[in-house]
Amino acid sequence: MKIRVPATSANLGPGFDSCGIALSMYLSVEVLGDSEQWEIIHTLGEDIPTDEKNLLVQTALKLAPSLAPKKLKMTSTIPLTRGLGSSSSVIVAGIELANRLGNLNLSELRKVELATQIEGHPDNVAPAICGDFVVACHFSERKENSVNYVKHYFPECDIIAFIPNTELLTSKSRGVLPENLPYKEAVKASAVANVMIAAVLNGNLPLAGKMMQEDRWHEIYRGKLVPHLSGIRQICKEEGAYGCFLSGAGPTILILTPAEKTERIIKILNALDSRAQVEHLSIDREGV
Ligand code: HSE
Query: pLDDT truncated to tens, each residue of the chain (288 aa)?
Result: 999 999 999 999 999 999 999 999 999 999 999 999 999 999 898 899 999 999 999 999 999 999 999 999 999 999 999 999 999 999 999 999 999 999 999 999 999 999 999 999 999 999 999 999 999 999 999 888 899 999 999 999 999 999 999 999 999 999 999 999 999 999 999 999 999 999 999 999 999 999 999 999 999 999 999 999 999 999 999 999 999 999 999 999 999 999 999 999 999 999 999 999 999 999 999 999
Tell me, in angstroms, the distance from the centre of ligand 1 to residue 249's CA: 5
Residues lining ligand 1, CB < 6 A? 10-11, 16-17, 121, 123-124, 170, 173-174, 218, 248-249
pLDDT for position 144: 81
**What is the number of other CB atoms lying within 10 angstroms of the CB of residue 178?**
11
Q: Kindly give the distance from the C-alpha atom of residue 228 to the centroid of ligand 1, in angstroms, as a whole number.
A: 19
Determine contact, residues 154/201, Cβ cutoff 8 Å: no
Cβ pair 148, 136 in contact under 8 A:
yes
Cα–Cα distance, 156 to 205 (Å, whole number): 9
* Model pTM score: 0.96
Give me the interface pTM, i.e. the ipTM. 0.98
Ligand 1: residue of 8, 82, 218 to mutate (most ligand atoms within 8 A of CB) is: 218
Largest CA distance in the chain: 59
- Looking from the CA of residue 18, the nearest atom of ligand 1 is 1
Nearest-CA residue for ligand 1 atom 4 is: 248
Q: How far is CA 27 from CA 6, 33, 167, 226, 282, in A?
A: 6, 19, 19, 25, 16
Q: Which residues, in sequence order, are bridge partners of residue 211?
A: none
Q: Which atom of ligand 1 is nearest to the CA of 83?
A: 7
Contact by Cβ (8 Å): 248, 170: yes
Nearest CA to ligand 1 atom 3: 249
